Chains A and B, each alone.
Chain A
Amino acid sequence: MKSLGSTRRSFTPWLDKETKPYISFQNVTKKFGDFVAVDNLTLNIYEREFYSLLGPSGCGKTTLLRMLAGFEEPTSGEIFLDGVSLKGVPPHKRPVNMMFQSYALFPHMSVRDNIGFGLKQAGIAKAQITERVDAILKLVKLEEFAKRKPDQLSGGQRQRVALARSVVLRPKLLLLDEPLGALDKKLREETQFELMDLQHELGLTFMIVTHDQEEAMTMSDRIAVMDKGTVIQTGTPAEIYEAPNSRYVADFIGTVNTLEGKVKEKAAGKVKIVGKDGFTIEAATTDQFALNTDDTAWFSIRPEKIKVSRSKPDKQTNAVEGEVWDIGYLGDMTLFNVMLDSGTIMRASVLNAKRTVDDPIGYEDRIWLSFEPDAGIVLER
């Protein structure tokens, strides 16, 4: 059976029609004055899911979290948590904790008191608070800073305090607004795995906003790609990457070559597209493919799925010649920006599987790019 790559765990409640969503946004719209921040959005999130929101700045991610936490009421539509409407439920009565994008640490309290604040508020015994705060301090590597005030910490340290403060309560639903943005790469990766473990061990549901697609890919069960207050696509990381539903999503996640063309021949499971760049593309399609002959379509293909060769490949379609315009050596792979005769630049990447190359491709060399029919995807919008 063919599938879109390996997944972290076999957890797919969204495919099961019987499973009830844990959180459900139903036709939620949020307006600030005339400005529509969230536009008629419907979204289901399941228990124990690790759900990421990805999208450009200002697309409404924080607003979505704030509505869940109870700081904003939807202008219209309703949000359900575990089947119960959240309408009119004040923030302190929701089984939800949020880590703020601005951290919102209490300046008059030490790191320890900041983290212990919610536990104390919940009336948990002192000894137990100390124990749990100690554990979480260790997790975020801030043991030595427990007595400091927030204004005596660096940006990354403050971010970890904010993370610890929301995580320590182990709420059923944890909302994290860019929790790791200020951390260096190594610490970020460590914390990512800690978060995943924590989520798994405690059976929590996470909803996380991030600008880092790699982070979203690593951690999430599903990703929602947003634009201007709407969700463009929801899916597993592999679905989002390998089967984007639009040029917007394809472009937003990773690098992609998008070639415009017109549908020429259409048959079951495949289509021929005559590209603007003067070569014919033969591509595999799914059953849902709805375009007709002469419609405009876009063929989108990732750089790593393109084959680079000096000699002309032995096929009529899916091959094009161009001149090497730029070379980027990344260590594990090398990127080639190739200018086609039409002027379009395509990017291909070659895995450096060997340490040495016999006949290295250089600047201004003429090379051939080719690909298999199912290496890319035909997009309708």
Chain B
Amino acid sequence: MNRNWSIFNIVSVVLGFAFLYLPIVLLIVYSFNASKLVTVWGGFSTRWYSEMLSNQGLMDAAWVTFRVGLLSATVATVLGTLAALALVRHTRFRGRTLFTGMVYAPLVMPEVITGLSLLLLFVSVGFERGFWTVSLAHITFSMCFVAVVVQSRLVSYDMSLEEAAQDLGCTPFEAFYKVTLPVILPAVIAGWMLAFTLSLDDLVIASFTSGPGATTLPMKIFSQVRLGVTPEINAVCTVLIGLVATGVIIASLINKRKMVREARIDSKV
């Protein structure tokens, strides 16, 4: 491989990263701005962070988002894991292709369509929109992400482990609970993190499916920004970025550790 980086390479990499991360860096920097004007640097201050904390509307939205995230991620993880198990274990049931397609379709479905169709469903059923509808919507779309993550782990999982457990006296459920689940747990946790992050991020679907009293943080930010960007919003966004980044890093670390371990097993066989 050519290790001498050409000028062109360096420039394109720098430009690319700048394009990706400069706005975020700016946002973080300006969240520590003492000035009220967003684009004028007035010295360092953590004033906007304390103001953010005392903004009741913002805090309420954060609390809603957190609860929705927790609930939807957990339910989506359970359902997604079950779907992945069904897909891997029963390789030849009738309508498997259709089922697979249906599990994965939400991955590529435009969010607007998901949101709109869910809204129509809730309206026609007469569901009052609010916390529960947002949570349900988030479960629906993040479940398939969990299924993908867990399935990729299950593909390399030796199903005879479960048979061995049954042979040693476990019922099928015990075999899953005592052997399969602990082995695939890293993938399940990674799936949960992903689902939580997705729920935290989502604006479009929440806008469609939420109702009064259940404004999520992205919705709140979006509506505030329409009235003008304040340094307070910068502070909120910085916190959000921090949370998401942590989640992603932990999830990838878990996956990485698993891969390193598998590589070690492979090299020994």
- Chain A residues near B158: list those with CB within 8 A: 102, 104
Contact with B along A112-124 (1 / 0, CB 8 A): 0000011001100
- Chain A residues near B12: list those with CB within 8 A: none
Whether A92 contacts B166 in the complex (CB less than 8 A), given A102-B158, A151-B265, comes out as yes
Interface residue from A104, A165, A169 paired with B160 (Cβ < 8 Å): A104
Residue B90 interfacial (CB < 8 Å): no
Contact with B along A69-111 (1 / 0, CB 8 A): 1110000000000000000001110001110101011111000
- Chain A residues near B169: list those with CB within 8 A: 92, 118, 121-122
Is the pair A121, B261 in contact by a Cβ cutoff of 8 Å?
Answer: no
Is the pair B163, A106 in contact by a Cβ cutoff of 8 Å?
Answer: no
Whether A92 contacts B167 in the complex (CB less than 8 A), given A102-B158, A108-B183, comes out as yes
- Chain B residues near A102: list those with CB within 8 A: 158, 160
- Chain B residues near A118: list those with CB within 8 A: 168-169
- Chain A residues near B265: list those with CB within 8 A: 107, 151
- Chain A residues near B172: list those with CB within 8 A: 90
Contact with A along B155-198 (1 / 0, CB 8 A): 00010110111111111101000010011000000000000000
Is the pair B168, A71 in contact by a Cβ cutoff of 8 Å?
Answer: no
- Chain A residues near B163: list those with CB within 8 A: 69, 71, 91, 100, 104
Contact with A along B9-45 (1 / 0, CB 8 A): 0000000000000000000000000000000000000
Contact with B along A11-42 (1 / 0, CB 8 A): 00000000000000000000000000000000
Q: Which of A135-173 contact B (CB under 8 A)?
A: 151, 154-155, 165-166, 169
- Chain B residues near A165: list those with CB within 8 A: 164, 168
Main secondary structure of the interface of B (DSSP, over half): helix
CB distance from A112 to the nearest CB of B (A): 14
> How far is it, in angstroms, between the C-alpha of A98 and the C-alpha of B268 when the chains are bound?
25
- Chain B residues near A69: list those with CB within 8 A: 163, 167
- Chain B residues near A104: list those with CB within 8 A: 158, 160-161, 163-164
- Chain A residues near B167: list those with CB within 8 A: 69-70, 91-92, 96-98, 166
Residue B226 interfacial (CB < 8 Å): no
Q: Which residue of A lies closest to B267 (CB)?
A: A151
- Chain A residues near B98: list those with CB within 8 A: none
> How far is it, in angstroms, between the C-alpha of A216 and the C-alpha of B183 when the chains are bound?
36
Whether A151 contacts B264 in the complex (CB less than 8 A), given A92-B167, A102-B160, comes out as yes
Is the pair A91, B166 in contact by a Cβ cutoff of 8 Å?
Answer: yes
> How far is it, in angstroms, between the C-alpha of A100 and the C-alpha of B265 when the chains are bound?
18
Is the pair A106, B179 in contact by a Cβ cutoff of 8 Å?
Answer: yes
Contact with A along B235-269 (1 / 0, CB 8 A): 00000000000000000000000000100110011
CB distance from A125 to the nearest CB of B (A): 16
Is the pair A108, B182 in contact by a Cβ cutoff of 8 Å?
Answer: yes
Q: Which residue of B lies closest to A71 (CB)?
A: B163
Is the pair B168, A117 in contact by a Cβ cutoff of 8 Å?
Answer: yes
> How far is it, in angstroms, between the C-alpha of A328 and the C-alpha of B24 when the chains are bound?
79
> How far is it, in angstroms, between the C-alpha of A91 and the C-alpha of B165 when the chains are bound?
10
Q: Which residue of A lies closest to B161 (CB)?
A: A104
Interface size class of A (residues with CB under 8 A): 20 to 34
Interface residue from A106, A154, A169 paired with B165 (Cβ < 8 Å): A106
Q: Which residue of B lies closest to A33 (CB)?
A: B92
Whether A121 contacts B164 in the complex (CB less than 8 A), given A151-B261, A151-B268, comes out as no
Is the pair B168, A121 in contact by a Cβ cutoff of 8 Å?
Answer: yes
Is the pair B164, A92 in contact by a Cβ cutoff of 8 Å?
Answer: no
- Chain B residues near A121: list those with CB within 8 A: 168-170, 174
Is the pair B269, A155 in contact by a Cβ cutoff of 8 Å?
Answer: yes
> How far is it, in angstroms, between the C-alpha of A100 and the C-alpha of B170 when the chains are bound?
16
- Chain B residues near A100: list those with CB within 8 A: 160, 163-164
Is the pair A106, B161 in contact by a Cβ cutoff of 8 Å?
Answer: yes
> How far is it, in angstroms, between the C-alpha of A92 and the C-alpha of B169 when the chains are bound?
4
Is the pair B168, A107 in contact by a Cβ cutoff of 8 Å?
Answer: no
CB distance from A362 to the nearest CB of B (A): 47
CB distance from A379 to the nearest CB of B (A): 40
- Chain A residues near B264: list those with CB within 8 A: 151
Q: Which of A260-293 contact B (CB under 8 A)?
A: none
> How far is it, in angstroms, between the C-alpha of A154 and the C-alpha of B269 when the chains are bound?
8
CB distance from A89 to the nearest CB of B (A): 12
> How far is it, in angstroms, between the C-alpha of A107 and the C-alpha of B164 when the chains are bound?
12
CB distance from A246 to the nearest CB of B (A): 34
CB distance from B201 to the nearest CB of A (A): 32
- Chain A residues near B179: list those with CB within 8 A: 106, 108
Is the pair B183, A107 in contact by a Cβ cutoff of 8 Å?
Answer: yes
Is the pair B170, A106 in contact by a Cβ cutoff of 8 Å?
Answer: no
- Chain A residues near B182: list those with CB within 8 A: 108
- Chain B residues near A154: list those with CB within 8 A: 268
Residue among A97, A106, A155, A166 having the largest count of chain B Cβ atoms under 10 Å: A106
Interface of A toward B, CB cutoff 8 Å? 69-71, 90-92, 96-98, 100, 102, 104-108, 117-118, 121-122, 151, 154-155, 165-166, 169
Interface of B toward A, CB cutoff 8 Å? 158, 160-161, 163-172, 174, 179, 182-183, 261, 264-265, 268-269
15 interchain pairs, CB-CB under 8 A = A71-B163, A90-B172, A92-B169, A97-B167, A98-B164, A98-B167, A104-B158, A105-B164, A106-B164, A106-B165, A107-B265, A117-B165, A117-B168, A151-B261, A165-B164
Complex A-B, nearest 3 residue pairs according to Cβ-Cβ distance, in ascending order: A118-B168, A121-B169, A104-B164
Given A98-B164, A108-B183, 5 additional A-B pairs, CB 8 A: A92-B171, A97-B167, A122-B169, A151-B268, A169-B168
